[in-house]
Structure 1
Amino acid sequence: MMNLWIDVDRYENTLIARLKGELDSNTAVFLRRELEQQLSDWNIQHLVLNFQDLTFMDSTGLGVILGRYKQVKQRDGELVICATSTTIDKMLRLSGMYKIIPIKTSEEEALQVVGVM
């Protein structure tokens, strides 16, 4: 059973993916495929990941994020994470994601980073 929902929006050359549920080894493949598809179909440069409704993430999720980070970097784009819960924020810190990926408190702030707002 799938415990991850993805809601996507596009603004100009930016894809916003709002995740709800759990990002783990069971859902990571689904998310990776979905994001890769969207990025290539719409010629997206920037990716904003909104984790407001993400309740759980394991190391598989971190792998998916890093893969998409590399994908948008190849397009001279930016990946920004926003609206993380305390638990997920802690995991991102411990994993070193803060060193390479901007992490903002709101979607608006994330969109400012990529120059959409």
Structure 2
Amino acid sequence: MNCEYQIKGNTLRIFIPKELDHHISDSLREEADLLTETYFIRKIIFDFSRTDWMDSSGIGVILGRYKKMKFSGGTVSAVHLNERMQNIFKMSGLEALMEEEGR
């Protein structure tokens, strides 16, 4: 299952699937960048409500979107992190970079 996307105004919500690995990360990167540019997105929300696992390529794609948003004055946040995903965010340093908007 690939990611699902929802746009409201200038906010893009990305629903991350159960596992975020290098196969899904490539398409997520391309689609998120295209949507961000096409719809002048100022905020990206990564929704982890369905996610149990993420590898380093998933961390990289999230970090890349964070850098792009920061460069353009936008923001990135994460929502619905389960305990495992919270640990991955802590260990990778993502926790310090972005807001967590719910559990």
Higher normalized strand content (fraction of residues): 1
Where structure 2 has 5 or more consecutive residues not aligned to the other structure, the ranges are: none
Give the match for residue 43 of structure 2.
46
Q: Give, in whole Å, the separation in 2 of the partners of 1:103 and 1:5.
A: 23
Cα drift, residue 103 of structure 1: 1.4
Aligned residues: 103
How high is the sequence identity, in percent, across the aligned residues?
Answer: 26
Please state if 1:79 is matched with 2:98: no
Poorly superposed stretches of 4+, deviation over 4 Å = none
Give the match for residue 56 of structure 2.
59
CA RMSD between the two structures: 1.2
Other structure's SS at 2:16 match: strand
Q: Give, in whole Å, the separation in 1 of the partners of 2:3 and 2:45.
A: 12
Other structure's SS at 2:3 match: strand
Q: TM-score, normalised by structure 1?
A: 0.82
Work out whether residues 82 and 103 of structure 1, in 8 Å CA contact, stay in contact via their aligned partners in 2. Answer: yes
Q: Give, in whole Å, the separation in 2 of the partners of 1:5 and 1:24.
A: 11
Work out whether residues 17 and 47 of structure 1, in 8 Å CA contact, stay in contact via their aligned partners in 2. Answer: yes
Please state if 1:89 is matched with 2:54: no
Other structure's SS at 2:22 match: coil
**1:91 corresponds to which letter in structure 2?**
I
Work out whether residues 47 and 78 of structure 1, in 8 Å CA contact, stay in contact via their aligned partners in 2. Answer: yes
Structure with higher Rg: it is 1
